Structure 1
Amino acid sequence: MGSLGQDLRFAVRMLRKRPGFTAIAVLTIALGIAANTSIFSVVNGVLLRPLPVAEQDRLVVPNVIGPSGFEISLAIPNFRDWREQNTTFESMGANATRSRTLTGGDRPEMVTTRMILGDWFETLGVPPHLGRLIESDETWAGAEPHAVINHGFWQRHFGGSPDALGRTLVLDGETFIVIGVMPPEFVFPSASTDIFVPMGFYSERMCWEDRGCSQGSWAIGRLADGVSMGSAQADLDRIAAGITEMEGDQQAVARLESLTDAYVGDIRRQVWILMAAVGFVLLIACANVASLLLARGESRRRETALRTALGAGQSRMVRQFMTEAVVLGLAGGLLGLALAWIGIRLLVPMLPADIPSVMQGNIGMDVNVLLFTFAAAALAGLLFGIAPAIRAARPDLNVELKEGSRGSVGKGRQRLRSGLVIAEVALSLVLLIGAGLMIQSLGELQRVDKGFEPENVFTARVQLPQVRYSDQAAAWAFYQDFIDRVEALPGATSASLSQIVPLQGNSWENFIFPEGVEFEQENGRSVLYHMITPSHFETLGIRIVRGRGFDLTDREGAERVIVVDERMAEQFWPGEDPLGKRVTYETEQVPDDFEGDAPRLWRTVIGVARNTRHYELESPSRVQMYVPIQQSGRGWATSMYVLVKTPGDPLAMTDLVRRELEAMDSDVPLTDIETMEGYVDRALAGSRAMGRLLTVFGAVALFLSAIGIFGVMSFSVVQRLREIGIRMALGAKAGDVVRMVSRQGLTLTLIGVGIGLVAAFGLMRLMASILYGVSPVDPVTYAGFALFLVGVSFVAAWLPARRATRVDPVIVLREE
């Protein structure tokens, strides 16, 4: 320990002697550490931080796969069979989210409720902060109106008072009693959930016994101790086969995935790509500092030779130089940590807001991030210090005497510095190509034909209390009066209602059968289903390419009509005219007094609309159909979105629309206020964040590489001053000297570019899944950034070469 302390004191003293060198080295490492720490905070928050549940590794999500191969939500009878017939799960619960109107305060408020069924809380294994939880046998049909509230809701509405237990909440006109409060860390499955209620309380208003109706439910299960996911999958497959055989239902098929995978989703690949990118930045920084240490080692050759001659062993010399390197690395880590603190605050707003960890505020500094930072700093010190330390610790005294002059340098050291520059150039090119591909992908997404016009469209959500508006006629009358009022507002070009909005993240689907096929599930298809008012196509700028849209005559009692999109027309009636064709869907209502086999209720196609992007911009939505709101049948909704087209700022309509709504019913809130352009921006957020971050990292890498080339060439010029002086004394022109020196830098650059192109060709394929409209091996991008990097490298090599021409040969030769 004594010798280690001595090495540390000596290392600090030596670094303080060269403040310029130390500052540059520390800042270089700090840039690499800051980038790595910032992105690792995302990795930690999204992938590594455990969810607020017990024994997370035993929790799985059974995703229901419909006959069309797409994921669909879970029917309650199928969940009941899974729960009762399985032999591999310790417990299983289900839930569905609903927005409800909370009244009793100064103004109505929209809250997010989660209806739970079965062993929901038991499966998650989280105890309450106050009171008790809703137990399994309290969630089925006929359940009492109990409520468990989220910790944030408890703080906002009850001031964190224990007296909240036993208090009442009025949701959609129905009174619930608060029996428990969740702990502050429990933000599962979403931080936006306010209240948990038993699903069974709403059993009479839900598809409690209908296997073809799901209403947005999904399940979570806890595997029994020692059971593998494969065994559980086989168990659910057995149950699904039995349901299909007995009921003819194919919607009980489940595909298990771990809760972690279900929670993280597709962001895992993007996060690891960013982590690899900042890893490259740190490697470039290490190569730069290693070059600096090698150059500094040249100035310490006489010191090293003298210490060796006095008996210092090789291991002692290596340890001393490595100690200096680690001290540099840790100093860079401290500065990098400070820069990362700033970087994280700049980074979080760039991330997509719908990432659960971002919503929950999990991106930031914690013990894991601090440990990672100092581990990375120490590792960086070892990485950039090992080669210079070994080089410096084994001097050949005779050779050192020969290489002691300014005009001579060991070929081994020169090759090592050249190799470091080549590595920097190659890594920089990979990062630049990755950034270029992401920027091109973002541009393609921004230019994609969305099928609708998002400009100047205001959107907001209107939620009618179900108890007061349980009658369809009353709800339709309210909505018709409301939309008439909104259309009459100053600044409203057109207005419409729809139960779903493109790119908002919600959906409503039905299983559709075209006329002329057997009503077997293999003959039907899942179709995205829009309930709208007639002016919806005009408000969103969705063009009707054939036939007509809706008008006020398309109401209850008239012929049931639909408008389909181009993809639905092509898939249902390929090569035929879709106008006049008829469809029905699985959940269509039939007359209650009909005796015998119930007839199908058919809907006639009257128009074909352009395809629109609904779920995401990257890929076309599933086939879509539009239904007039007053002909929606059993699928009508008490929650609708109002859309208003304006010539100016859409958000200027907020107060006007809210005033009209309050005049009609003061208990109906206006929520989720946004613009259609805002939804488009959200859809672009992930690609935009990736593009920006890779661009920043590419720019840092380019800067460090240019500095590295400049440093190596400057050192080369210093080592070759005598040679340059002789050449100029013999008549060499300035241009000859510039070409001679620059050629060395360009040679290293071209080798690095060649290696970088090969590496990028292999690595960019890993980005294929997050690119849109651009090939991961796009030749224009590769060639463009290769030439750009060559140009930057030329400038970095030219500057010291140009400085070499200003050398006075007489002075140089006299000094030699």
Structure 2
Amino acid sequence: MREPSTLVRIATVGVDGRPGGVLGPAVDLIREERLFDRVCGLLAPGATVDINGHVAPVNTHTFTGDCFATLGVRAALGRLLTADDDRPGAANVVVLSYDAWRQHFGGSPLVLGTTINIEGATFTVVGVTESSFTGLQIGFPTQLFWAFSDRVNLGAGIPRRSLLPMEVFARLKPGGAVEAATARLQALWPQVREASVPPQYVGVQRARYLQRRILVASGSTGLDYVLRPRFQTPLVVLLAVCGVVLLVMSVNVASLLLARAARRRRGVLVRYALGASRWRLIQDSLAESGLLLAGGFIGAMMLSYWVDKVLVSLYSGTMVGLTIDVAPDGRVLAFTVVLSAIAFVVFAVAPAFKVSGVDGAALNAASTRLIGDRRGLGKAAIVAQATLTIVLVSLGSLFVGLLKELRATPLGVAVDHGIGLQLAAVPGGYQRGFSGSTYYRALLEGVASLPGVQSSALSHPFPLGGALSAVRTGVVGSDREIDVEQVLVTDSIFATMQIPFVLGASFDRGDDPNGARTGVVSESVARALFGSASPIGRSIHVGVNPLNQAVRIVGVVRDARIKGVRPRDIRASSCERTATLRSWRWPSRRSCVEPVVNTRSEFVCSPTWWTCR
């Protein structure tokens, strides 16, 4: 991208402090006010596409027409999307990434004018992006870029443009400052917010929308929904541990060099008496240290690259489209070189100069005995070595203890005999008379009839996948609200994951899909909302969706860690102790549901994709 430092990201923040996107009408109003040089609204959905007969789920970007101009991306072939492609009634056109062009069309210029199928809609290829641009989502290279189109149905999770919370990037005007643009946008935001309220928003949903604040931050680092939140803290801890290990090893090497230099003391004195300069006296030590440093540098770079490749390949198997380039770049090489140079100067050059110092008394005594290092350098090295080793051993012991505690933490669910799968529909599969009630019922019955399968269920999102989102939940007719993490499930999820009931029962598969919605809550939710009273038959409102404002509770289950395996104090963490399982029964529209299967024997499995037809 051109000048990423002048890009800003615009988002909204609710009263609960959670960030969110900006609705399409608000994006248009911000663009019309000319506060920024250019404004780009986008979404990064996964879509099932058919390219040259190859059907697969891929990462895409859905752009407003001026996004490429905002980002400063150039075309390698053909043209990019423009504002004309984002107008009502415009033809469906798509831009390929450079890698997708090479992979699916062999880099042929004849790709222009060909058609591909995205979620059942036909798009015409009009261009290819430059090779350096792989999209805005970190770790998930984008293959297709296309303009928003109400003719393309991306499913129940993605509404039409007027109700779509977009990710917004803007380019500052030449010479403009982030602070000044932020101040102007915040002053304008109440008007934009009032003018962009969708007519479908009523009651609580409208009130909460009008309470959202605007947030402007740097957009130079792109979008990241998964990697930074999940790995930033562990990587910082790992870097600190590696720093301690490096320090211990450097002190060990310095101690060995000091001992070796002490054995060479007599030779150093003799060479000094013959007129050798101090530089000549330490050349041998520096040469040995330099060779050791070079070998360690090359070996460490090769080993780290190989280990990174293995770790990324293991993790990417659980997330479709994840691709991280772990090849060392200039910044990594520069950091490693500087760190190695510092270690070389402190633990090789400095001891060598210290030991090579010669005074008159040492020279006079050279013929009778060897003078040891009485200045404490060797003793200091030994003390530092012992201290750092104790610190490292303590950290290792603590880490092993935490792993044991983590492994012994009861999850409240059965995971030893479970397998999870994710469904991917053929392009347009949800637009050809798709009946969720019929399809998902037949799917579960077919899976349950397979040999070795005890039970099966559907869940969205996947339990233990870490993708749950908390929503405000409260009792109908009461001001009491708590944060609750919700999961969309079918009735057999509790038997499949072996979560026992405390009160009531599960959903009934024979319930009318269009009837009143029912839910099952955990013990923690029941205590937080109803105290000692029975929650069975009571109604709760979940989030701001008008359809979820009267969910009737039919059961209470034991607390279970359905978000992840990290041990937390569930009595203190509302997110962990307020997990709710509720059912929409049989979805009639597209839902990103995942089958969960409980088998009779243990197994080792890799993530599997099923194609729905």
Q: Distance in 1 between matches of 2:53 and 2:331?
A: 44
Against the structure 1 CA distance between its residues 241 and 360, is the aligned structure 2 distance closer, same or farther, given a 3 Å change threshold? same
Match of 2:399 among 422, 435, 438: 438
Task: Give the structure 1 partner of residue 557 of structure 2.
Answer: 609
Task: Give the structure 2 partner of residue 771 of structure 1.
Answer: none
1:151 aligns with 2:151: no
Match of 1:537 among 494, 498, 503: 494
Q: Distance in 2 between matches of 1:64 and 1:571?
A: 29
Task: Give the structure 2 partner of residue 577 of structure 1.
Answer: 534
Q: Distance in 2 between matches of 1:283 and 1:542?
A: 48
Q: Distance in 2 between matches of 1:240 and 1:147?
A: 33
1:285 aligns with 2:265: no
Q: Report the Cα offset of residue 542 of structure 1.
A: 2.5
Kept in 1, the 8 Å contact 2:52–2:116? The answer is: no
Q: Report the Cα offset of residue 171 of structure 1.
A: 2.1
Letter in 2 for 1:462: L
More strand by share: 2
Q: Distance in 1 between matches of 2:190 and 2:34?
A: 13
Against the structure 1 CA distance between its residues 383 and 107, is the aligned structure 2 distance closer, same or farther, given a 3 Å change threshold? closer
Q: Report the Cα offset of residue 175 of structure 1.
A: 0.7
Q: Report the Cα offset of residue 291 of structure 1.
A: 3.0
What are the equivalent positions in structure 2 for 1:149-228 lying under 5 Å apart? 149-188=96-135, 189=137, 190-202=139-151, 207-208=159-160, 214=164, 217-228=166-177
Q: Distance in 2 between matches of 1:573 and 1:243?
A: 39
Q: Distance in 2 between matches of 1:227 and 1:575?
A: 58
Against the structure 1 CA distance between its residues 562 and 285, is the aligned structure 2 distance closer, same or farther, given a 3 Å change threshold? closer
Task: Give the structure 2 partner of residue 674 of structure 1.
Answer: none
Match of 1:117 among 60, 64, 79: 64
Kept in 2, the 8 Å contact 1:581–1:604? The answer is: yes
Q: Distance in 2 between matches of 1:277 and 1:585?
A: 43
Task: Give the structure 2 partner of residue 102 of structure 1.
Answer: 49
Q: Percent identity between the aligned chains?
A: 24
Match of 1:339 among 299, 316, 325: 299
Kept in 2, the 8 Å contact 1:91–1:222? The answer is: yes
1:418 aligns with 2:418: no
1:397 aligns with 2:360: yes
Q: Distance in 2 between matches of 1:650 and 1:629?
A: 31
SS at match of 1:579: coil
Q: Report the Cα offset of residue 643 of structure 1.
A: 1.7
Q: TM-score, normalised by structure 1?
A: 0.63
1:387-431 CA distances to partner (integer Å, 9 max, x unpaired)? 44444444233344436655752422xx21010111112222222
Q: TM-score, normalised by structure 2?
A: 0.82
SS at match of 2:63: strand
Q: Report the Cα offset of residue 204 of structure 1.
A: 8.1
Q: Report the Cα offset of residue 310 of structure 1.
A: 4.4
Kept in 2, the 8 Å contact 1:530–1:626? The answer is: yes
Q: Distance in 1 between matches of 2:281 and 2:130?
A: 52
Against the structure 1 CA distance between its residues 577 and 234, is the aligned structure 2 distance closer, same or farther, given a 3 Å change threshold? farther
More helix by share: 1
Q: Distance in 1 between matches of 2:528 and 2:83?
A: 44
Against the structure 1 CA distance between its residues 529 and 179, is the aligned structure 2 distance closer, same or farther, given a 3 Å change threshold? farther
Letter in 1 for 2:118: L
SS at match of 2:552: strand
Against the structure 1 CA distance between its residues 290 and 642, is the aligned structure 2 distance closer, same or farther, given a 3 Å change threshold? closer
Q: Report the Cα offset of residue 525 of structure 1.
A: 6.3
Q: Distance in 1 between matches of 2:97 and 2:364?
A: 76
Q: Distance in 1 between matches of 2:594 and 2:558?
A: 21
Task: Give the structure 1 partner of residue 463 of structure 2.
Answer: 502
Q: Distance in 1 between matches of 2:51 and 2:68?
A: 28
Kept in 2, the 8 Å contact 1:554–1:628? The answer is: no
Q: Distance in 2 between matches of 1:209 and 1:110?
A: 22
SS at match of 1:129: strand
Q: Report the Cα offset of residue 112 of structure 1.
A: 2.9
Q: Distance in 2 between matches of 1:609 and 1:214?
A: 34
Match of 1:130 among 77, 86, 92: 77
Against the structure 1 CA distance between its residues 359 and 603, is the aligned structure 2 distance closer, same or farther, given a 3 Å change threshold? closer
Against the structure 1 CA distance between its residues 54 and 525, is the aligned structure 2 distance closer, same or farther, given a 3 Å change threshold? farther
Q: Report the Cα offset of residue 127 of structure 1.
A: 1.4
Q: Distance in 2 between matches of 1:626 and 1:269?
A: 29
Q: Distance in 2 between matches of 1:514 and 1:632?
A: 25
Kept in 1, the 8 Å contact 2:65–2:83? The answer is: yes
Task: Give the structure 2 partner of residue 353 of structure 1.
Answer: 315
Over the residues paired in the alignment, what is the CA RMSD in angstroms? 3.7
Structure 1: stretches of 5+ with no match in the other structure: 1-52, 591-599, 662-667, 670-816
Kept in 1, the 8 Å contact 2:422–2:593? The answer is: yes
Task: Give the structure 2 partner of residue 734 of structure 1.
Answer: none
SS at match of 2:12: strand
Q: Distance in 2 between matches of 1:120 and 1:80?
A: 13
Q: Report the Cα offset of residue 105 of structure 1.
A: 5.7
What are the equivalent positions in structure 2 for 1:53-64 lying under 5 Å apart? 53-64=1-12
Q: Distance in 2 between matches of 1:81 and 1:447?
A: 54
1:384 aligns with 2:347: yes
Match of 1:644 among 559, 583, 597: 597
Against the structure 1 CA distance between its residues 394 and 638, is the aligned structure 2 distance closer, same or farther, given a 3 Å change threshold? closer
1:633-669 CA distances to partner (integer Å, 9 max, x unpaired)? 8xx53432112211135678999x96xx7xxxxxx36
Q: Distance in 1 between matches of 2:7 and 2:565?
A: 32
Q: Distance in 1 between matches of 2:65 and 2:472?
A: 27
1:239-259 CA distances to partner (integer Å, 9 max, x unpaired)? 444455665424642434434
Q: Distance in 1 between matches of 2:360 and 2:605?
A: 81
Kept in 2, the 8 Å contact 1:142–1:201? The answer is: no
Kept in 2, the 8 Å contact 1:150–1:195? The answer is: yes
Against the structure 1 CA distance between its residues 481 and 651, is the aligned structure 2 distance closer, same or farther, given a 3 Å change threshold? farther
Kept in 2, the 8 Å contact 1:512–1:527? The answer is: yes
SS at match of 1:450: coil
Against the structure 1 CA distance between its residues 162 and 201, is the aligned structure 2 distance closer, same or farther, given a 3 Å change threshold? farther
Letter in 2 for 1:617: V
Against the structure 1 CA distance between its residues 407 and 325, is the aligned structure 2 distance closer, same or farther, given a 3 Å change threshold? closer
SS at match of 2:9: strand
SS at match of 1:148: strand
Kept in 2, the 8 Å contact 1:403–1:409? The answer is: no
Q: Distance in 1 between matches of 2:482 and 2:33?
A: 29
Q: Which moved more, 1:502-511 or 1:454-463?
A: 502-511
What are the equivalent positions in structure 2 for 1:666-815 lying under 5 Å apart? 668=612
Against the structure 1 CA distance between its residues 111 and 294, is the aligned structure 2 distance closer, same or farther, given a 3 Å change threshold? closer
Q: Distance in 1 between matches of 2:605 and 2:258?
A: 63
Match of 2:449 among 479, 483, 488: 488
Letter in 2 for 1:450: L
Kept in 2, the 8 Å contact 1:143–1:201? The answer is: no
1:330 aligns with 2:290: yes
Q: Report the Cα offset of residue 337 of structure 1.
A: 3.2
Against the structure 1 CA distance between its residues 156 and 614, is the aligned structure 2 distance closer, same or farther, given a 3 Å change threshold? farther
Q: Report the Cα offset of residue 459 of structure 1.
A: 1.9
Q: Distance in 2 between matches of 1:54 and 1:71?
A: 27
Letter in 1 for 2:289: G
Letter in 1 for 2:443: F
Letter in 1 for 2:465: Q
Against the structure 1 CA distance between its residues 653 and 71, is the aligned structure 2 distance closer, same or farther, given a 3 Å change threshold? closer
Against the structure 1 CA distance between its residues 574 and 82, is the aligned structure 2 distance closer, same or farther, given a 3 Å change threshold? farther
Q: How many positions carry a matched residue from both structures?
A: 582
Q: Distance in 2 between matches of 1:439 and 1:70?
A: 34
Kept in 1, the 8 Å contact 2:362–2:371? The answer is: no
Letter in 2 for 1:457: G
Q: Report the Cα offset of residue 494 of structure 1.
A: 0.6
Rg (Cα) greater in structure: 1
